[in-house]
Structure formats: structure tokens, C-alpha cells
Amino acid sequence: MIRFNEFINSMEDFFPETRDTIDIALSESMGEMDTIVIEDIIMPKVISLLRKNEDKEKLTSLFGYFEDVVEQADDYLSDIFAITVLEILGNTEEDLNVAKIYMGRCTAKKQREADIDIGRIID
């Protein structure tokens, strides 16, 4: 089972330049900024990587990990992942189309569910 702290550690491994900022934000917030850390620190890095679409190896690895998260996250991380990562991936059609190249089956399904949940798509 993948928990929030493990997810954050993995994101810091994918994006080492975020480590200090994430660590400070989380140590000061005592759990109140978990979604903000993902939305404001991690996801801009993910979106930038998608928009450049140059480091295919890193994108493949990142989205492989996202697939693991979708399949193995505890309830807390699963909820946070859906309302941050998956919703943000669907914010623009262009970003989502690139993300779909790298998404696994379970991630794509959960991302679509996230879009339906917020009313972005009518099923």
C-alpha cells in the first residue's frame, strides 16, 4: 500500500529541485497543506514535463508510478491523488492528450472518473 509520505518521497525523487520547498511546506502545515503541496509544487513540474514532451523516459517512469499509485494507494492518498493530480491533468485538452500517451489503463480510467466527478465530462 502506498501512503502519502511515500508518494511525496517519490515525487521528490522525480523532481529533486522541489525537495526543500516540499519539506518546509509539509513540516509547517501538519497535514493541512497536503493538497496544496501537490497542486502548487509538484503538478507544475509534471505539467511542464508534459508540455515539453522531450524526456519520454522520465514521463514513462512517472506515469508508471502514477499507475502504481492508482492501484495501490491507501484511501487518503487515493482521494488526494484524484482531486489534485488527476483533475489537474484534465485542465487542458492539450496536456491531457499528451498525458494519455503515458497513462496506464487504471490511471486513464480514474482520470476520466475525476473529470466526471467535477462535471467536466457528462457520462
- Triad 13, 57, 19: Cα angle to 5°: 15
Indicate whether 105 belongs to any domain: yes
**Domain range enclosing 76:** 4-117
Indicate whether 91 belongs to any domain: yes
Query: How does pLDDT run across 70-79, given as a tens digit for each residue?
Result: 999 999 999 9
Helices 56-72, 93-102: axis angle to 10 degrees equals 80
Indicate whether 122 belongs to any domain: no
pTM for the full predicted model: 0.93
**Rounded CA separation 109/53 (Å):** 22
Grid cell listed for 45: 513540474
Indicate whether 8 belongs to any domain: yes
Grid cell listed for 38: 501537490
**Rounded CA separation 75/104 (Å):** 20
Share above pLDDT 70 across residues of the chain, in percent, rounded to a whole number: 97
Query: How does pLDDT run across 16-55, given as a tens digit for each residue?
Result: 999 999 999 998 876 678 999 999 999 999 999 999 999 9
**Rounded CA separation 36/82 (Å):** 13
> What's the number of domains the chain is made of?
1
Indicate whether 35 belongs to any domain: yes
CA distances (Å), origin 97, targets 27, 60, 100: 35, 14, 5
Indicate whether 123 belongs to any domain: no
**Rounded CA separation 45/37 (Å):** 12
**Rounded CA separation 97/27 (Å):** 35
